[in-house]
Amino acid sequence: MKAVVLVGGEGTRLRPLTLSVPKQMLPVVEQPMIERVLGQLGRHGIDEVVLSLGYLPDAFMKAYPDGVAAGVRLSYAIEAKPLGTAGAIRFSALSAQIDGTFVVANGDVLTDMDLGALLEFHRARGAEGSISLHPVDDPSTFGVVPTDETGRVRAFVEKPAREEAPTHLVNAGTYVLEPSFLDRVPEGRQVSVERETFPAMVADGTLYALADSSYWLDAGTPETYLKAHWDLLEGRRPGPPAPGAKDAGGGVWLVGSPRVQGEVRGPALLGDGALVCPGALVEKAVVGRGCVIASGARVVGSVLLAGAMVGWGATVTGSILGPGSCVGARGDVRPLSVLGHRASVGAGAVVAGERVPG
C-alpha cells in the first residue's frame, strides 16, 4: 500500500534548528525523525511513500539519493509554494498516480499505532476517510475529534480553546483515505485538511475515527522533541534507543566509539567520536556524534546535535544545542533554550530559555 507523508512545513516551533534543517530531518537519538516515521509505516505494510516536500526539499533528496529510507521506497512531490495539508495530499497523491485506498501521515509524529486495525475499521465501515485518534491531557494544540458510538466523526475542531474542547481524543495525524478525497480538494490555493476538507466530510457523514492508545508523540516543539529522546532512552518505546546502540550498563548507551573520560549517568547516549573530558558530568542527555564536553562542564536533561561543543566549566540544562554550536567557558544555558546551527554562546554568558540563532 502507498502512503503520503507530509514533511513540507517550516517547523516554526523548532526554530532556529529548522532554519537550516527541516524538522523531519532532525535526529531523534541519532536517527533522522523521518526514518523513524517511515520505519513504523514499513512495519505495517507500507512499501511505497511519497514525501510531500515544500520547505528545504534538498535535505531529503540528498539524504536518500537511492530513493530508499528505512526499507521503504520513496518518491518526491515538491510544491512550488505551500499548498496546505489537503493541497499537499492532493498534489502528492496525483503525482504518484495513487488510485486506490491510501494512507497519510504527518511526518513529525512518532508512534507505534496499529495501522492494520485502522485499515480494517475503515473497510468495515465503508468510510471515505478514517482518522487515528489519541487521548491527550490538553487537546487545545491539536485537532479535536468527537465521534458517535459507531466511530462516525461528529465534528472536527482544529485547536479549540482548552475549555471548549468537546473530548480529549485528538487527531493523531495518521489517516486512511479513499481516492474520492482528492476530488474534494480545490486546486490553485492553500487548503487545510483540518479546517476545510475534514469538516466537509463530517457534514457528509463519510469521516470515521478510531482511538489507539499505543505510544504517540508529536515531536514538533522543543518540549516534545526533548521528550522523544527521553522516551527512547527510558524504554517507553521498545528496542535500543538508536540503531547500533550498545548497552554500556546503568542506562548508558554508546554508538560507535565515543571517549568517556568524565562521568556519564544514565539515561544517556553518546554518539560516535563524542568526547566527555575528565571532570565533566553528563546526565540524562544525548550527546551527538563528534560533540565535545570540556572539563568541569555539566550537561543535564539536554540534547546535543552533531559537533556541538560545551566549554570548560559551562552548564547546559534542559536545552537543545544545534549542530556545531558552541557554549563558551563558564557559559550557562538554562531550560528550554534552543541553539541553532553553529550558534555561539559567549564565555560566561547566561541564556535562559532563549532561542539563539546561528
User: Contact at 8 Å (CB) between 201 and 129?
Assistant: yes
User: Contact at 8 Å (CB) between 320 and 355?
Assistant: no
Least distance in angstroms from the C-beta of 85 to ligand GDD: 5
Please give the Cα distance from 356 to 234 (Å, whole number): 29
User: Which is nearest to 97 in space by CA: 70, 75, 128?
Assistant: 75
Residues pairing with 177 in the sheet: 102, 129
| CB-nearer residue toward ligand GDD: 221 or 344 | 221
Residues 1-20 binding ligand GDD (CB under 6 A) are: 6-9
User: Contact at 8 Å (CB) between 293 and 311?
Assistant: no
217 near ligand GDD, rule: CB under 6 A: no
Residue 142 contacts which entry, ligand GDD, Mg ion, none (Cβ below 5-8 A, type-dependent)? ligand GDD
| CB-nearer residue toward ligand GDD: 9 or 271 | 9
| CB-nearer residue toward ligand GDD: 109 or 316 | 109
User: Which is nearest to 233 in space by CA: 206, 252, 257?
Assistant: 252
Least distance in angstroms from the C-beta of 118 to Mg ion: 19
Binding pattern to Mg ion, positions 189-228, x when CB under 5 A? -----------------------------x-x--------
The amino acid that residue 263 corresponds to is: E
Q: All 3 cell numbers of residue 213?
A: 492508545
One residue of 108, 128, 196, 332 binding Mg ion per CB under 5 A: 108
One residue of 42, 57, 129, 173 binding ligand GDD per CB under 6 A: 173
User: Contact at 8 Å (CB) between 151 and 125?
Assistant: yes
Please give the Cα distance from 293 to 100 (Å, whole number): 52
One residue of 32, 57, 143, 324 binding ligand GDD per CB under 6 A: 143
One residue of 18, 147, 171, 325 binding ligand GDD per CB under 6 A: 171
CA distances from 292 to 21, 301, 321 (A): 21, 16, 12
Residue with cell 525523525: 33
Least distance in angstroms from the C-beta of 254 to ligand GDD: 31
Q: All 3 cell numbers of residue 41?
A: 509505516
Residues 27-66 binding ligand GDD (CB under 6 A) are: 52, 54
| CB-nearer residue toward ligand GDD: 217 or 282 | 217
108 near ligand GDD, rule: CB under 6 A: yes
DSSP secondary structure letters along 166-205: S-SEEEEEEEEE-THHHHTS-SSS---IIIIIHHHHHHHT
| CB-nearer residue toward ligand GDD: 136 or 248 | 136
107 near ligand GDD, rule: CB under 6 A: yes
User: Contact at 8 Å (CB) between 90 and 184?
Assistant: no
Please give the Cα distance from 208 to 70 (Å, whole number): 30
Please give the Cα distance from 326 to 124 (Å, whole number): 55
Residue 88 contacts which entry, Mg ion, ligand GDD, none (Cβ below 5-8 A, type-dependent)? ligand GDD
Please give the Cα distance from 345 to 26 (Å, whole number): 21
Residue 337 contacts which entry, Mg ion, ligand GDD, none (Cβ below 5-8 A, type-dependent)? none
Least distance in angstroms from the C-beta of 220 to ligand GDD: 5
Least distance in angstroms from the C-beta of 320 to Mg ion: 17
One residue of 67, 82, 179, 358 binding ligand GDD per CB under 6 A: 82
- The binding site for Mg ion (CB under 5 A) comprises 108, 218, 220
Binding site for ligand GDD (CB under 6 A): 6-9, 52, 54, 79, 82-85, 88, 106-109, 142-143, 158, 170-171, 173, 194, 218, 220
